[in-house]
Amino acid sequence: MDKRFLKQLGLRKHNAGTMTGLESTNSSKYIKSFSPVDGELIGSVSKTTREEYDAVIAAAQEAFKTWRLLPAPKRGEIIRQYGEELRRMKDPLGRLVSYEMGKSLQEGWGEVQEMIDICDFAVGLSRQLYGLSMHSERPGHRMYEQWHPLGIVGVISAFNFPVAVWSWNAMIALVCGDVVVWKPSEKAPMCGVACQQLFQKVLQENEVPEGVCSLINGDYKVGEFLTKDERVALVSATGSIRMGKIVAATVGARLGKTLLELGGNNAIIVTPNADLDIVLTGALFGAVGTAGQRCTSTRRLIVHESIYDEVKQKLAKAYPQLRIGDPLDENNHVGPLIDTQAVDQYLSAIEAVEREGGNFLVEGGRLEGDAYSSGCYVKPCIAEVEHDFEIVHHETFAPILYLIKYSDLSEALAYNNEVPQGLSSAIMTNNLREAELFLSAAGSDCGIANVNIGTSGAEIGGAFGGEKETGGGRESGSDAWKAYMRRQTNTINYSETLPLAQGIKFDL
């Protein structure tokens, strides 16, 4: 395989794991990154020690004093320059994402494009950090609210979007005046190093203080440095529900702030009024895109009984046409799972379906042979199940699609909402009443509810996140920026007296 993209990104056999501002350190203890594509060693990243971490935080605290006072549009200009750097390096960075994580090359490039898009959004936002003006009940007074940066924002990201989710948080937080410390997934550390090195180039050119944006590397223990540290005002964590509950409890115990993006168990409801060509496209990509390792992947397809057999036949015909293999080959649709542990979880889910009495419309299993030598490739599969199977209520990060039959829309909505996760959802229908019911307070209980598009993916302009065990956090667009700032209410008395609120008087 041609790996010139590693050299283009300045990656070496051994890479520093701690980068604060313009300097980096090396602990001589390494995380090795093996590609799920071919099982080969990509490189290694040094683990961040406690001493190095404390140095990072000290530098961040000092940098915040300067960065918060830089006018927001000037902070936005620096983010704009990073967006330009990403445009220049989109091809090699997208290839690294594909090779280290295993998603298709188109998706790798697409993830870098999301980074570019959030940079553009953040540039515009830098001139729109609006407060409100309110009428005071006291004469000669003006009352308003404004927003100030929090301080240090810790970002813990997951392997499935190794660069985009960090940028959703970091670009917005930085424009808001915060400083950022990032711990990427130990399953995709090289992507973190590449992004940080590209950003440091921009920061250095702008003579930005050391510590504005830093990188630390390691396992969950390094993540605990952030969650337990009272100096870190906000921890934004993306990952499993189990991880999120630990983060929430730890940060909450010190009354810190969290922004959680956790599991999804996303469903598409298909009504008799649906365009089945759209259904097939939305369900297929939603279920097998990124090999089912998106938090927005389609897990459940809830189909009306009158069209159930037709939908089933179309899916059964489409799945054998999927090409599985090296994701850097643009002819392939599906790449590998992240590692063999993920394969084991996929196989365990298949066994659970069989134990509960499910039937496989399209069989799954691990793929063998020279083309799949890493041991991380599996077959996307479809299982006919009942809505209340225990396994159906759990998120399996793999390309398993559960096919469920329903008889009326109220039943379908109940099925959609009965799982503990609440991230993304969709309805396929050309009936306005069905669509509006799905979007109403009596409809989907998810943070994302779509009509005639699938569950997978999100646009930068909208706030991304979900309810229930998905964690309640919101990232990216809309007013998600408010999570990275603190609100302050201000009252100014420009009169010559001091009238008190609620008519209170003192005789002095």
pLDDT digits (tens, 9 = 90+) for 337-367: 999 999 999 999 999 999 999 999 999 999 9
**Which positions ≥6 away from 454 have C-beta within 8 Å?**
268, 281, 282, 283, 285, 286, 298, 426
Answer whether 0.75 is exceeded by the pTM: yes
What's the rounded Cα separation, in Å, for the pair 228 and 207? 31
pLDDT, average across residues 404-430: 98
pLDDT for 27 equals 67
Angle, alpha carbons 92-96-98 (nearest 5°): 115
Q: Is the pLDDT of residue 35 over 80?
A: yes
Confidence check: pLDDT of 21 > 60 = no
Residues 275 and 156 in one domain: no
Report the DSSP beta bridge partners of residue 384.
359, 403
User: Does 508 reside within a domain?
Assistant: no
User: Which has more pLDDT, 344 or 27?
Assistant: 344
Can you give the pLDDT at residue 447?
98
| Residue 285 sits in the same domain as residue 389 | yes
Which pLDDT value is given to residue 43? Answer: 95
Instruction: Tell me the C-alpha distance between 352 and 403, whole Å.
Output: 15
pLDDT on residue 321: 96
pLDDT beyond 80 at 412: yes
Looking at the predicted structure, is the pLDDT value of residue 390 above 80?
yes
Domain co-membership, 329 together with 378: yes
Note whether 171 and 316 are same-domain residues: no
- Which ranges of 254-358 does DSSP label H, i.e. alpha helix? 276-288, 308-318, 340-355
pLDDT value of residue 457? 78
Pairing of strands 18-20, 23-25: antiparallel
Quick check: is 499 in a domain? no
Q: How many domains does the chain have?
A: 2
Nearest Cα residue to 188 out of 31, 18, 10: 31
The CATH number for 315's domain is: 3.40.309.10
Residues 334 and 251 in one domain: no
Q: Is residue 465 included in any domain, yes or no?
A: no
| pLDDT tens sequence across 222-256 | 999 999 999 999 999 999 999 999 999 999 999 99
Active site residues: 261
How far is the C-alpha of 397 from the C-alpha of 293, rounded, in Å?
Answer: 5
Name the band, by pLDDT with cuts 50, 70 and 90, for residue 13.
confident
Residue 185, in any domain of the structure: yes
CATH of the domain at 139: 3.40.605.10
Half-sphere exposure in the Cβ direction for 412 (13 Å, CA): 29
Identity of residue 187: K
154: left (phi over 0), alpha (psi -120 to 50) or beta: beta
Residues 393-410 pLDDT 10s: 999 999 999 999 999 999
Maximum CA pair distance of the chain?
91
Q: Are residues 285 and 179 in the same domain?
A: no
Spatial contact of 461 and 121, defined as CB atoms under 8 Å apart: yes
Q: Is residue 500 part of a domain?
A: no
Torsional sign, CA 426, 430, 435, 438: negative
250 and 363 co-located in one domain? no
Task: Assess whether 239 and 367 both reside in one domain.
Answer: no
Structural domain includes residue 286: yes
In which domain, by residue range, is 69 found? 4-262+471-488
Model pLDDT for residues 276-308, shown as the tens digit of each residue: 999 999 999 999 999 999 999 999 999 999 999
- What is the per-residue DSSP string for 180-214? EEEE--TTSHHHHHHHHHHHHHHHHHTTPPTTSEE
* Domain shared by 199 and 284, yes or no: no
| Per-residue pLDDT tens digits for 444-481 | 999 999 999 999 978 999 999 999 999 999 999 999 99
CA distance 314 to 301: 13
Please give the pLDDT value at position 243. 97
pLDDT band with cut points at 50, 70 and 90 for residue 22:
very low
Same domain, 254 and 321: no
Say whether both 274 and 418 belong to one domain.
Answer: yes
Arithmetic mean of pLDDT, 490-503:
87
Q: Are residues 97 and 168 in the same domain?
A: yes
- Assigned domain for 126 exists: yes
In a domain, 494, yes or no: no
* Residue 271 pLDDT > 80: yes
